[in-house]
Amino acid sequence: MTARDLPTRAAFTLVEAAMSIIVVSVMLVGSLRVLGTARAGELTAQRRSISIALAQDLMSEILAQAYKEAGAVDALSPSVAELTGTRAPFNDVDDYNGWTANPPEAKDGTVLTDFDAYERSVEVAWVDPDDLTLVSNTSTGVKRVIVTVTLAQRQHARLVAFRTDSFDPRPAAP
């Protein structure tokens, strides 16, 4: 009987088994990385969407207010009577200047649930009507409102709007 006459076995050698394990491992690691990257991108998009909605909500509230308090000097801060810890007494655009809330809250001070990690802030400034990028120290008749939403000290949304004293849909009550 010669070696040719011996029955052949269909089996993996140790080298083939090791190579198979390496190939499968590399493919698994690559698949997990792709999945992790996709999930991280999805989470970032979701956080950005929430941030934009929070910013739009606050911006629409601000723009619904009067340009300035009726009969008052145009200033960029709330009056002493409006400093209550909530936005409830805010009745004109400039009252919101410097407002920051973490976590975000409704106008009456009620905390918005499920948004504990988010922070909303507002900046109001007079700007030059001929160049809206130039900030002025005195009243110009145009106010720039910036609402920023941050999450973990990273800006996720920033909205900019302008209000003029010539268009005031809702004059403030005295």
pLDDT score recorded for residue 14: 84
Helix (H, G, I), strand (E, B) or coil at 7: coil
Distances (CA, A) of 56 to 60, 74, 114, 116, 135: 6, 25, 17, 18, 23
pLDDT score recorded for residue 119: 95
Question: At residue 125, what are phi and psi to the nearest 5 degrees?
Answer: -145, 150
Q: What is the mean pLDDT of residues 35-54?
A: 89
pTM comes to 0.75
Residues 162 and 127 sit within 8 Å (Cβ to Cβ): yes
Residue type, 7: P
Locus of tokens 């609402």: 147
For residue 115, give the nearest of 38, 174, 47, 163 by alpha carbon. 47
Q: pLDDT (tens digit, 9 = 90+) per residue, 7-25? A: 666 677 888 888 889 999 9
Distances (CA, A) of 94 to 84, 87, 103, 134: 16, 12, 22, 18
Q: What is the mean pLDDT of residues 87-112?
A: 89
Question: At residue 90, what are phi and psi to the nearest 5 degrees?
Answer: -65, 125
Q: What is the mean pLDDT of residues 120-124?
A: 95
pLDDT at residue 173 is higher than 60: no
pLDDT score recorded for residue 81: 65
pLDDT score recorded for residue 76: 76
Q: pLDDT (tens digit, 9 = 90+) per residue, 53-94? A: 999 999 999 999 988 877 667 777 777 667 777 888 888 898
